[in-house]
Amino acid sequence: MDISVSDEEKKIEEEAKKIKEEAKTISFQFPFILLKTRRGVNLMDRLAALRTTKPLGWVSLYLFPLVGAIGFSLILFSASIMLSSAPIREFVRESGPLVHILIPGLNPYVPLVYGWIALVVAMVVHEGAHGILARSFKMRIKSSGLILFLVLPIGAFVDIDEDELKKTPARKTGRVMAAGPMSNLVVGLASLLSLMLLVGSMVLATSGIGVVGVYEDWPAYEAGLAPTDTVLAINSIDVSSRDDVKSALLGFQPGDTISLRFLHEGREVERSLVLAASDNSSDPLIGFEGLDSTTISGILEDYRRPRITSPLIYLFIPTFSMAQLRVPFSDSMQNFYTSPLGDATFFVANILFWLWFVNFNLAIFNALPLYPLDGGQALRAGLQTYGENRGWNEKTAKRVVTAISLFIVALLVSVIVGPYILG
More confident residue, 20 or 110: 110
Classify 266 as helix, strand or coil: coil
Rounded-to-5 percentages of helix, strand, coil across the chain: 55, 15, 25
Q: Are 76 and 82 in contact (CB under 8 A)?
A: no
Residues 171, 295 within the same domain? no
Q: What is the mean pLDDT of residues 92-97?
A: 80
Residues 233, 368 within the same domain? no
**Quick check: bond before 55 cis, omega within 30?**
no
Question: What residues contact residue 57 under an 8 Å CB cut-off, 6+ apart?
Answer: 133, 136, 175, 176, 178, 179
Question: What residues contact residue 139 under an 8 Å CB cut-off, 6+ apart?
Answer: 160, 161, 164, 165, 168, 176
Q: Are 197 and 244 in contact (CB under 8 A)?
A: no
Predicted local confidence at residue 359, as pLDDT? 95
Q: How far is CA 367 from the centre of its chain?
A: 16
3 lies in a domain?
no
Predicted local confidence at residue 3, as pLDDT? 47
326 lies in a domain?
yes
350 lies in a domain?
no
Residues 30, 116 within the same domain? yes
Predicted local confidence at residue 350, as pLDDT? 95
10 lies in a domain?
no
- The pLDDT of residue 192 is above 70: yes
Query: Hey, how many other C-beta atoms are within 10 angstroms of the C-beta on 157?
Result: 20
Q: Are 163 and 46 in contact (CB under 8 A)?
A: no
Residues 106, 85 within the same domain? yes
Least confident of 150-159, 291-300, 337-346, 366-375: 150-159
- The pLDDT of residue 386 is above 80: no
Residues 290, 380 within the same domain? no
Predicted local confidence at residue 8, as pLDDT? 58
Predicted local confidence at residue 16, as pLDDT? 45
74-84 tens-digit pLDDT: 888 888 887 78
Least confident of 34-43, 100-109, 171-180, 236-245: 34-43
Predicted local confidence at residue 421, as pLDDT? 80
DSSP result, 370-402: -TTSHHHHHHHHHHHHHHHTTT--TTHHHHHHH
Q: What is the mean pLDDT of residues 221-234?
A: 94
Q: What is the mean pLDDT of residues 181-191?
A: 95
Residues 234, 193 within the same domain? no
12 lies in a domain?
no
Q: How does residue 28 score in pLDDT terms, banded at 50, 70 and 90?
A: low
Q: What is the mean pLDDT of the chain?
A: 84
The structural domain count of the chain equals: 2
Predicted local confidence at residue 6, as pLDDT? 58
Residues of the chain with pLDDT > 70: what percent? Answer: 88
Residue 170: closest CA among 388, 369, 359 = 388
Predicted local confidence at residue 174, as pLDDT? 86
Domain residues for the domain of 277 are 203-338
Number of H-type helices and E-type strands within the chain: 13, 14
- The pLDDT of residue 9 is above 60: no
Residues 75, 113 within the same domain? yes
Question: pTM here?
Answer: 0.84
Which residue among 285, 307, 338 closes a domain? 338
Predicted local confidence at residue 154, as pLDDT? 64
Question: Cα–Cα distance between 127 and 156 in angstroms, integer?
Answer: 7
371-381 tens-digit pLDDT: 888 888 888 88
289-332 tens-digit pLDDT: 999 999 999 999 988 876 655 667 888 899 988 888 889 999 99
More confident residue, 357 or 377: 357
Predicted local confidence at residue 22, as pLDDT? 46
Q: How does residue 20 score in pLDDT terms, banded at 50, 70 and 90?
A: very low
Q: How many CA atoms lie within 13 Å of 366's alpha carbon, on the beta-carbon side?
A: 23
11 lies in a domain?
no
Q: Are 291 and 239 in contact (CB under 8 A)?
A: no
349 lies in a domain?
no
Question: Cα–Cα distance between 367 and 385 in angstroms, integer?
Answer: 19
Least confident of 105-109, 182-186, 202-206: 105-109
Q: How does residue 96 score in pLDDT terms, banded at 50, 70 and 90?
A: confident
More confident residue, 28 or 214: 214
